[in-house]
Chains A and B, each alone.
Chain A
Amino acid sequence: MIASALLASILLMPQDRVRQELPNGAVYLVDKADTPGHVRVALSASFHGYPDEPATLGVRHLLEHLVVKGRDRALDRKLESQGLSLSAWTTRDALNVVISGPTGALPLAMASIDEVLNPGGFTQDEINKELRIMAEEKLLHAPDRPLVDAAWEAVYGQEGLSPFGDLEVLAKLTPSDLELARQRIFAPAGLSLVVLGDLDPGVARLRCQEVLGKLSGWEVSFDPRMEIAPGASPMGAQASGEARAVITAGVTVPMTLAMLGFALAQQREMPGTKVFYDASAWDSVIIWTAPNAGQFDALEKLTEEDVVRLAPFVRGQASQWALGLTTLDDTNAALRAKLLRQARTFDLGQLFDTARGLTDQEIVQAWQRWSGPKSYRVRGLK
């Protein structure tokens, strides 16, 4: 019965590509790719399993630090001795773990994902030591990080708080609190797993089913973040400079590429500015920071003719960005895992052509989004 249900849920795809949603809600994709002798496994745990709130802010991040040590706290040694590497990071959208290395070590990579999902309990000493390391991590934030965080808050309020977390809140966390959080963060309905590379799809599929199929737990509700209308006055941030943010309807929409491409192209004329976008198929924000106050005034001074003249650069920048997403590195593997949950049939390869095909009108609209009242403003207070 279960077997036939599983078979029915496997989407009809070429043999080298298998995508399946398991009865517990976890999804996986196995994709044979042209990476001779090399595979990559990416796990994405959606924030929806444990949304960030002021009282729990940073728990996902702390858990990420701890689970990657494995059950015997020697996971790195096991992996690296076989040529595998593990990287992990936490964003507003997801907790990401990626393991990559030689094809022959795929069984170990999959067993390691299992260890990450089921690491055993953590002691208070382990939590406290990791918090000391996180305190050092906090010091490494880039000078424009407060502008980025403020922009997220301007758009989404408390739903946009930084996932780095509040170290004072985390210091009160007990091992049992953390275990409870782990069960929600790794609830199967919020997990997606992608296995890419030079592999036997049949074998990889069985491994995915083994690792994900045995999980059970909490329901996950995929409620979208609720945006707030831009305020009459800019949001303040403890940094110098300023920032603007625009809402995107996802990477699948041409306007997202137009807004990104416009900012990247215009960067050349606005020294020191940076563009931030954590690609997503759902609503999200693109943020543009500037080191000096008043730099964005230049956007309002542009004319439609100026923007049309800039259009080839916008297409060029957008298409370069889109090309970058097709490189098989850890970040893009994690993006694919996230997109597996968000937009199951979307192919990142389409983006390059979409970017090259942006019309002048779309690019003008993108400029208007950045310069007009729909953009969110952040002012540095330093």
Chain B
Amino acid sequence: MAEMVRPEIVSGEGVEVRQIALLAGVILTALASAQSSKTFVVTELPNPNAKTVQIHAMIPRPEGGAREEAAWRVLARALNRVSTKTYSNWELFESEGRGTQPLRIEWLPDFIRLEIGTTPANWQEKFEVVISLLSEVKWEVEEPILQARAELMAERKDPWGWAMDPFASAYDQVRPRDVVLMYQAAFQPGKARVFVNGPIEPGSAQGLLDSRVRWSELAAPPRPFFVSEVKRAESNGSGVSTFELTPPAIRLSGPGSAAQFLAAVALGAGKDCTLWRVLREEKAWSYRTEMVFWPTKFGLEPRLLMLRGAREEELPMLFDMAEAIKGDLKNWDASTLARAKVMARSILTRPSPFACVYLHPSRPLGGSEADAAAWQSYWGAVGEPPISISRWLEMLDTVEWEEFQTQAKIMTDNLRPRMTSGR
């Protein structure tokens, strides 16, 4: 069942499409086997030069509405407080010290990610921690769920928090039983995918997983259980309104994806981008304008955001914002593309103040081995080739001006508008 993906790409003209197609084939095969699998599918990404082994499990959220979304968030938070049949809570989250990353549980809009960064000597021991969380959480006591729910309800978002995540979740309507059912529905063989990235012996991860899971003790997946929809708030009362324009999601294997990624960077990353230069410096409409790549199951959505004090009659500003952005494209030239390439390298490979690829909800990628693994596991989980960041950068480097310009025009002609009032 273990698959090894070695996305080696030879540079040269026309290579990108051919290689993506090849890799997509590998992934489609893997996905097909995952759908019918009776185990948690492991994807090994051998990386002999890595200093750590990164273990990331991606669990997709079951379909549903706002209530399921709320239960999903409570579940992600509650997992930080649980014990399993094998480990106490303290043992689950124990730190190994320098250069490693203790277990972290991340909520994403469409996934929960369990991630751990460990030493090559200890990886099997830590892999067992992940296996235990995937398969044998103790839900006999409700306290972790109640505490997690209380914690989420008590959190106060600042205006940027509202911009990133404009929906208030109906946590008060989430019952402990809903959360347990969500766990049982999502943490099932054939759904969760585990990515092991680092200097490991090929084939060893799947075998270890299969030998450790107590298959007979796994709960059967529950039937769909939520029926009523929860109404979402139309304003957040923070005093700051969010104006958002979002081009279509980018998928690695989609045509023009590299040019789209660079166009998004040119539109919104750094200070010499369109958003900052035009909306802030030229028009002084806003202090904070930013583009964030947001991880959805459809791919990375480049969300163009502007935060501005709430006013009466503010909807037209959304259209003014779109016009200002589109109008700036005529000022772009070859240097815009060159800057986008340099900026993309910066935001993907090191801690940058302009980092904007949010594969974690609260922090963008910053160049660590854990982040590089998060990149690959995210793409693998959404059915795309889990190519490395360095490979993606090579693809970005091949983008030519005409394609960049064409994709920028298509993206800005297809902006999905959204405004969340702060009044």
Q: What is the 8 Å Cβ interface bit string for chain B, positions 282-308, against chain A (1 contact, 0 not)?
A: 001111100000000000000000011
A136-B351 contact, Cβ under 8 Å, with A76-B272, A83-B345, A142-B156: no
Q: Are A142 and B158 in contact (CB under 8 A)?
A: yes
Q: What is the 8 Å Cβ interface bit string for chain A, positions 323-335, against chain B (1 contact, 0 not)?
A: 1000111100000
Report the Cα distance A382→B160, complex, angstroms: 22
CB within 8 Å of A: which of B257-285?
Answer: 270-272, 276, 280, 284-285
**CB of B186, distance to nearest CB on chain A (Å):** 24
Contacts of A291 in B (CB 8 A): 154-156
Contacts of B155 in A (CB 8 A): 271-272, 291
Q: Are A271 and B307 in contact (CB under 8 A)?
A: no
Q: Are A140 and B288 in contact (CB under 8 A)?
A: yes
Q: Is B150 an interface residue when CB atoms closer than 8 A count as contact? A: yes
Q: Are B309 and A136 in contact (CB under 8 A)?
A: yes
Measured CB to CB, the nearest residue on chain B to A326 is B98
**CB of B352, distance to nearest CB on chain A (Å):** 6
Q: Is A85 an interface residue when CB atoms closer than 8 A count as contact? A: yes
Contacts of B157 in A (CB 8 A): 143
Q: Is A374 an interface residue when CB atoms closer than 8 A count as contact? A: no
A82-B342 contact, Cβ under 8 Å, with A140-B288, A142-B156, A271-B147: yes
Q: Are A268 and B351 in contact (CB under 8 A)?
A: no
Q: Are B345 and A132 in contact (CB under 8 A)?
A: no
Q: Looking at the complex, which one of A83, A129, A272, A327 makes contact with B151 (CB distance below 8 Å)?
A: A272
Report the Cα distance A132→B308, complex, angstroms: 11
**CB of A266, distance to nearest CB on chain B (Å):** 13
Report the Cα distance A169→B341, complex, angstroms: 42
Q: Is A344 an interface residue when CB atoms closer than 8 A count as contact? A: no
Report the Cα distance A141→B309, complex, angstroms: 12
Q: Are B354 and A132 in contact (CB under 8 A)?
A: no
Q: Are A140 and B280 in contact (CB under 8 A)?
A: no
CB within 8 Å of B: which of A319-367?
Answer: 319-320, 323, 327-330, 352
Q: Is A313 an interface residue when CB atoms closer than 8 A count as contact? A: yes
Interface size, chain B (Cβ < 8 Å):
49
Measured CB to CB, the nearest residue on chain B to A313 is B90
Q: Is A234 an interface residue when CB atoms closer than 8 A count as contact? A: no
Q: Are B154 and A80 in contact (CB under 8 A)?
A: no
Report the Cα distance A83→B345, complex, angstroms: 8
**CB of A54, distance to nearest CB on chain B (Å):** 24
Q: Is B208 an interface residue when CB atoms closer than 8 A count as contact? A: no
Q: Is A49 an interface residue when CB atoms closer than 8 A count as contact? A: no
Q: Is B343 an interface residue when CB atoms closer than 8 A count as contact? A: yes
Q: Are A137 and B287 in contact (CB under 8 A)?
A: yes
Contacts of A87 in B (CB 8 A): 353
Report the Cα distance A271→B309, complex, angstroms: 29
Question: Which of the listed residues A35, A83, A328 has the most CB atoms from chain B within 10 Å of its own CB?
Answer: A83
A140-B151 contact, Cβ under 8 Å, with A85-B352, A352-B98: no
Measured CB to CB, the nearest residue on chain B to A295 is B154
Q: Are B272 and A328 in contact (CB under 8 A)?
A: no
CB within 8 Å of B: which of A123-164?
Answer: 129, 132-137, 139-144
Question: Which of the listed residues A134, A137, A141, A142 has the most CB atoms from chain B within 10 Å of its own CB?
Answer: A142
**CB of A100, distance to nearest CB on chain B (Å):** 7
Question: Which of the listed residues B95, B152, B350 has the most CB atoms from chain A within 10 Å of its own CB?
Answer: B350
Q: Are B239 and A139 in contact (CB under 8 A)?
A: yes
**CB of B148, distance to nearest CB on chain A (Å):** 9
Q: Is B211 an interface residue when CB atoms closer than 8 A count as contact? A: no
Report the Cα distance A188→B309, complex, angstroms: 38
Q: What is the 8 Å Cβ interface bit string for chain B, positions 95-107, against chain A (1 contact, 0 not)?
A: 1011000100000
**CB of A314, distance to nearest CB on chain B (Å):** 12
Q: Are A100 and B352 in contact (CB under 8 A)?
A: yes
A81-B284 contact, Cβ under 8 Å, with A143-B158, A330-B351: no
**CB of B98, distance to nearest CB on chain A (Å):** 7
Q: What is the 8 Å Cβ interface bit string for chain A, positions 294-317, against chain B (1 contact, 0 not)?
A: 000000000000000000110010
Report the Cα distance A293→B90, complex, angstroms: 30
Contacts of A80 in B (CB 8 A): 270-272, 339, 342-343
A140-B351 contact, Cβ under 8 Å, with A85-B346, A329-B366: no
Q: Looking at the complex, which one of A141, A142, A320, A328 makes contact with B351 (CB distance below 8 Å)?
A: A328
Q: Are A271 and B151 in contact (CB under 8 A)?
A: yes
A316-B95 contact, Cβ under 8 Å, with A80-B271, A80-B343: yes
Interface residues in chain B, defined as those with a beta carbon under 8 Å from any beta carbon in chain A? 81, 90, 93-95, 97-98, 102, 147, 150-160, 238-240, 270-272, 276, 280, 284-288, 307-309, 335, 338-339, 342-343, 345-346, 350-354, 366
A-B pairs, 5 with minimum CB distance: A272-B154, A87-B353, A142-B158, A137-B287, A76-B271
Given A139-B240, A316-B94, 10 more contacts at CB 8 Å?
A80-B342, A81-B342, A85-B354, A98-B353, A101-B346, A136-B307, A139-B159, A141-B158, A292-B154, A352-B97
